[in-house]
Each structure stands twice: as structure tokens, then as C-alpha cells.
Structure 1
């Protein structure tokens, strides 16, 4: 009888011990799973942070590019180009058929167009010979006669050689209009221009 009680008691103790081991084993598995979950969450967070920081870098790069573009547009002087437009006149077309005299700059000042030119010669007679295409050059540059005549009274030229003035003269808008209408010849226009020379 005592022996049976001892055996039963031992069996119960063994079962309890085994149950405790199993529980602790399952807890170990759970903790491993928890660790795995923690690691995967940490990994995901790290990846997300890396991606986000990459996106922020890209965005800041885009902002920099956009900033550069807007700055370059301002520095390009788009507004300045618009403000120097001469009504009815295309300054890029104002060019003499001469290899001795070339136009350096064309700017509007109120009702006058100021033309700066450089010359490879200083002799007046030779210089005037280079100006034979003056009428045609102005006619090519005037793209809207009415708009030009309404805004501009004259085109004033200053011709320099080695930074020293050679001659200055004026081309009146009225002469150019008469030339375009066939009321003034190219030769007569040039003679009028010569009369203004200084």
C-alpha cells in the first residue's frame, strides 16, 4: 500500500516536472518568435527610415534644382530682354554689308535708338563708302514701320576705332519712312545722314 502511494506520488511529480519543462520550452519558442518579430520590425523600420531619408535627399535635390532653375531664369535676364525691346525694330537685323564697320550694341533711350559701332578705318571718305548699305540695313531692321515711327524719332550712331570716336551721325525716322515709301533714294538718305555727322 505504501509502495503504491509512493509510485503514484512519483508519477504525479514526474508529470508535473514534464509539464513544467514543456511550458518552459514553449515559452522559449515564444520568446524566439518575439525576438524574430522584434528583429523583423526593427529591420523594417530601418529600411523605411533609409527609404525616407533617400526620398528627403531626392526632394532636397529637386528643391535645389528648382531653386537653381528659378535663379538662372532671373540671372538670364528674361525681363531685361523684354525691357530693351524696341517697338517695330529687330536690332539683330541691323547689320551693314561691310567688313570694316560692325554694330556692337543697340539700345533704346526714350524716343531715340543708340547704336554703337566699331570701325577698322578712320578715313571719312572710306568710312562713308562703307555706309552705302545704311538705308537697306535700317529697312531690314524695321519690322513694323508704324509701331517704330510712333515710338522712335531717330537712330543715333557712334562709330569708334580703338576706343576713340571716329564719327557720329543720326538717321531720322522720317527719312527711313520716306525711303520705304519710295519717296527718298538710298543715296539721298545717305547725304542727309552725312549732314548730321560730327
Structure 2
């Protein structure tokens, strides 16, 4: 009967340390997914998939919050039911072990709240994108002063294509000259 922890953070610049600290550490084994959104189904995340395969009857899986398991209500409920059917105790910080009908009810409500938050994040992101598009159309810059919605352009495609054509350089040589990837050179030369 092992104590197992699962941690998940959505971006690579985040750390699981606060989750580890809150759960108290001293686990027999830890699994994590770094830079993986909660919108990705649990069994499609490499860390969780490995965790689920490792868990045995009688083990306790500790998670910081229901939304660390996921932000899709059905996926979270299915994941927890599958683990419980395997004999795994799912212990959510602040809730305790998910057991019986009352535990299932609480889990269902929290999973639905996690999904609702996911939907709110999507709506806020889209609203921000629309404001930025309108600002670009009106002023040439976003409401935050950027010139585009995507990553800033760090190279001139026309310059790359022209230099390659004039010098007869290979894709690799051109990539090295401009400090860009070979894919960037290929895109520049197709344009």
C-alpha cells in the first residue's frame, strides 16, 4: 500500500513545488505532467498514464485539487471511478478520500466547477483576442502595444529567400546564417 502523488501544471514556467509542499511530501512515488493543460484527458497525459499504470489495489493517490486531474467533468469522474474500481484510494487535498455516494457527489460538483472554470478561461481568452484584433485594425497595435496576435516575427522571410537564391546556399547554410530553423527557411523560400 503505497502513497503516490500526482502533480500537474499547465505551463512550463510553473512548478509543482507548491503542490508538493501542500500535500506534505514523503510519497513512495511521484508522477507529474509539466506544461500540460487540464483540458487534455487524464489518460492522454504521459505522467498520469504512467501513474495509473503504476497504481495497485490499496494504494493512495494524492492530488492537490480536482482540477489537477482535469477540467473535463466526465473525464475526471471516469478517471476517479476507474481508479476506485482498481482499489485505489483517491485523496484530494482539503476533501480527503473520495468514497461512497457522498464522495461521488462532491467529486461531481467539483469536476463540474473545474469544467465551468475552463469554459470561463476560454471565453476570457476569446474576448481578449477580439479586443486585440479590433485594436490592431484601428491602430496597428494590440491594446497591449504588440504588432501581432502571435509570436513576434524575428526574421524577414523575403530577406532569407533572396539571400539563399543569390548565394545558392543550402537550406542548412541559410538557417545557420540567419539563426533560424530549417523549417523557417523552407517556409520563407516557398512564399
* Greater share of strand: 1
* Greater share of helix: 1
Normalising by structure 1, we get a TM-score of 0.21
Question: Based on CA coordinates, which of the two structures has the bigger radius of gyration?
Answer: 1
